């Protein structure tokens, strides 16, 4: 047995060394199997968003005159330009209807691509699973290649399905394909960024943070360029991959050649990532982690203090983002009357959130969206429990005098309090920006309350995540799936005329429509109770089950 096994293993090792891409196909199939549900959900989410926006806008802006008025109002408002970008052809239904999903949608696609690549590269390496895979006939570049191929294939599938959906909504085929490829180009470009970030650091969370920071910088460059331009975007927008995706100009000339910018950027960054793979050791990164002190500080002597330290960087980034988002939302709210200058648009905004005024209705609709974003933080923070467990860091901690419930409750506390802080910061900054614009700082309190009433719905999603973590840890991504479903129901339920019973499944459909509506406490109490039951069930399940590392 031994005399035949050793030569076979030696031949496999030699094969892997000679062919750096050996085993790529098998790893692609494995990645597809792991991400088949999540990838399908996020692709469908973007496709439905694009198709729903196109269908709704056909009714909101039926004439060229109505589209020109809306586009002019958007192009004349710096805050709106910074958030969404410029409408390049005010007469085009496609250009007007998809303005909110152009640059902003491309950024969301890019973010998903970053997370996808890091998940299949650095996260696998950090968990130790990649070392087991590497013991087979797997080349040095196979893991990175599989992750990039998966991301590219998913982005191209998104482009094709989005184009078909937009064509089905009545938009021109060329513009629909250009729009889909602009999204795909952004996804492919930032998949390469995620690949490079995965080589730079030893931590998957840090790699995700680096990728997100690069994306944020690209979006801010695009925003600054669009907001400062008089008739067209300035040169700042051309320094940003998100700006390139926008400059494809679907339904406004279809500038196909701009897609080559995204392709060249992706190739150059990917080449840099491959170069680093060849030069680093397994488990290492370009930036080595500094060794910590021999003894922890007294302020880290409790599970809650440790949890706060672990979540500090992520929470800080979210708080900064919410502050900026609040300023933008508040600024746009004061200009909504100029943008919504036709009856159809006014009726739609009113249906989305409020009865006492167009501005209140707009703020109410935006607060519902903000609630979903805050829920994303809550889910992410809660899933740190699973990351600590599978990473092997929870077991030695629980081997001390720290109980399971105390440890889990510490991270859960950060998720709950952190989401409350995010909602409060968003409400305060949005209220301040809106109040300053209309010279009425009494708006701060109204907008703050409108943001805070979203918290019970946010906590329901946190509860779902905790329940799955405790009772079925292998399905922890169910929290993200629930968020996607609730987002689709909230944003497109009325547009698609879905049954009321189906729309009521979303906890966000039960929060008061503020500002402008009545503050009713009953649904908030019920949602909080549901969240509490889910959390208790999850913690009880975690207390009884075995720890796992996969």
pLDDT tens track for 427-465 = 999 999 888 888 888 888 899 999 999 999 999 999 999
Are 378 and 314 a contacting pair, CB within 8 Å?
no
Residue 215 · residue 292 · CB < 8 Å: no
Provide, for the chain, the percentages of residues in helix, strand and coil under a 3-state DSSP scheme, each rounded to the nearest 5: 75, 0, 25
Confidence of residue 1 (pLDDT cuts 50, 70, 90): very low
Distances (CA, A) of 127 to 36, 119, 283: 21, 11, 10
Residue 532 above 70 pLDDT?
yes
DSSP secondary structure letter of residue 257:
G
pLDDT at 275 over 50: yes
Reported confidence tier of residue 182, pLDDT bands at 50, 70, 90: very high
Range 71-85 average pLDDT:
78
- What whole-number distance in Å separates Cα of residue 455 and Cα of residue 12? 55
Q: Who wins on pLDDT, 3 or 167?
A: 167
How many other CB atoms sit within 10 Å of the CB of residue 40? 12
Nearest-angstrom CA–CA distance, 111 and 23: 27
Q: What is the mean pLDDT of the chain?
A: 82
pLDDT at 396: 82
What is the pLDDT at residue 354? 40
- Count other Cβ atoms within 10 Å, centred on residue 341: 13
Percent of the chain with pLDDT over 90: 30
Burial of 138 per CB tally in 10 Å (0-12, 13-18, 19+): buried
Q: Rounded to an integer, what distance in angstroms lies between the CA atom of residue 430 and that of residue 527?
A: 25
- Cβ atoms within 10 Å, residue 328: 19
Phi-psi region of 31 (alpha: psi -120 to 50; beta: other; left: phi over 0): alpha
pLDDT (mean) for 243-261: 92
Residues 6+ apart with CB under 8 A from 239: 221, 225
Write down how long the chain is.
550
Lowest mean pLDDT among 15-19, 83-87, 461-465, 494-498: 15-19
Question: Cα 391 vs. chain centroid, distance in angstroms?
Answer: 23
Domain ranges of the chain: 20-284, 300-550
- Residue 405, phi then psi, degrees to nearest 5: -65, -40
Looking up tokens 């700082």 gives: 441
> Does residue 419 carry a pLDDT above 90?
yes
pLDDT above 60 (res 487): yes
Give the mean model confidence (pLDDT) for residues 362-371: 83
Region class of 357: left (phi > 0), else alpha (psi between -120 and 50), else beta:
left
Confidence of residue 104 (pLDDT cuts 50, 70, 90): confident
pLDDT of 2 over the 60 cut: no
Q: Is the pTM of this model over 0.85?
A: no
DSSP string, 481-501: HHHHHHHHHHHHTTTTT--HH
Q: Which position has the higher pLDDT, 452 or 74?
A: 452
* pLDDT over 80 (residue 56): no
């Amino acid at each position: 047995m031994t005399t035949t096994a050793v030569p076979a293993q030696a031949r496999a090792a030699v094969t892997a060394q000679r062919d750096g891409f050996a085993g790529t196909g098998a790893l692609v199939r494995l990645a597809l199997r792991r991400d088949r549900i999540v990838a399908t959900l996020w692709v469908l989410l973007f496709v439905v968003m694009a198709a729903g926006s196109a269908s709704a806008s056909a009714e909101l802006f039926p004439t060229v005159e109505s589209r020109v008025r809306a586009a002019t109002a958007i192009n004349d408002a710096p805050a709106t330009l910074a958030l969404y970008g410029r409408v390049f052809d005010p007469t085009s239904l496609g250009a007007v209807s998809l303005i909110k999903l152009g640059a902003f949608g491309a950024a969301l696609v890019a973010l998903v691509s970053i997370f996808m690549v890091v998940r299949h590269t650095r996260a696998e390496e950090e968990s130790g699973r990649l070392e087991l895979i590497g013991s087979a006939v797997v080349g040095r570049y196979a893991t990175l290649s599989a992750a990039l191929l998966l991301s590219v294939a998913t982005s191209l599938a998104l482009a094709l399905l989005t184009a078909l959906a937009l064509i089905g909504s009545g938009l021109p085929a060329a513009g629909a394909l250009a729009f889909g490829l602009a999204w795909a180009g952004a996804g492919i470009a930032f998949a390469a960024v995620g690949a490079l970030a995965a080589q730079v650091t030893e931590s998957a969370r840090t790699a995700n943070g680096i990728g997100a920071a690069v994306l944020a910088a690209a979006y801010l460059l695009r925003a600054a360029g669009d907001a400062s331009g008089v008739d067209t975007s300035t040169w700042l927008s051309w320094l940003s991959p998100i700006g390139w995706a926008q400059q494809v100009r679907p339904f406004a000339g279809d500038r196909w050649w701009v897609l080559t910018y995204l392709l060249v950027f992706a190739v150059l960054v990917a080449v840099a990532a491959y170069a680093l793979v060849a030069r680093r050791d397994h488990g290492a990164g370009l930036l080595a982690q500094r060794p910590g002190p021999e003894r922890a500080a007294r302020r880290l002597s409790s599970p809650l203090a440790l949890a706060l330290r672990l979540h500090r960087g992520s929470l800080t980034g979210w708080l900064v983002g919410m502050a900026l988002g609040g300023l933008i939302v508040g600024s746009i709210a004061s200009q909504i009357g100029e943008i919504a200058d036709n009856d159809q648009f006014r009726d739609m905004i009113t249906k989305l959130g409020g009865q006492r005024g167009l501005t209140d209705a707009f703020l109410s609709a935006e607060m519902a969206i903000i609630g979903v974003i805050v829920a994303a933080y809550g889910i992410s923070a809660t899933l740190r429990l699973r990351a600590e467990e599978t990473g092997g860091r929870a077991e030695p901690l629980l081997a001390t005098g720290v109980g399971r419930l105390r440890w889990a409750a510490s991270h859960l506390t950060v998720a709950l309090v952190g989401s409350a802080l995010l909602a409060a910061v968003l409400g305060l900054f949005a209220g301040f920006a809106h109040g300053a614009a209309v010279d009425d700082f009494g708006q701060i309190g109204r907008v703050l309350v409108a943001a805070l009433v979203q918290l019970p719905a946010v906590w329901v999603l946190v509860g779902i995540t905790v329940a799955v973590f405790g009772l079925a840890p292998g399905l922890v991504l169910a929290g993200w799936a629930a968020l996607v479903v609730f987002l689709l129901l909230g944003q497109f339920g009325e547009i698609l005329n879905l049954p009321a019973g189906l729309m009521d499944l979303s906890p966000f459909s039960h929060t008061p429509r503020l500002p402008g509506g009545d503050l009713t406490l009953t649904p908030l109490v019920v949602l909080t109770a549901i969240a509490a039951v889910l959390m208790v069930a999850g913690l009880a399940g975690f207390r009884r089950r075995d720890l796992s590392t996969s």
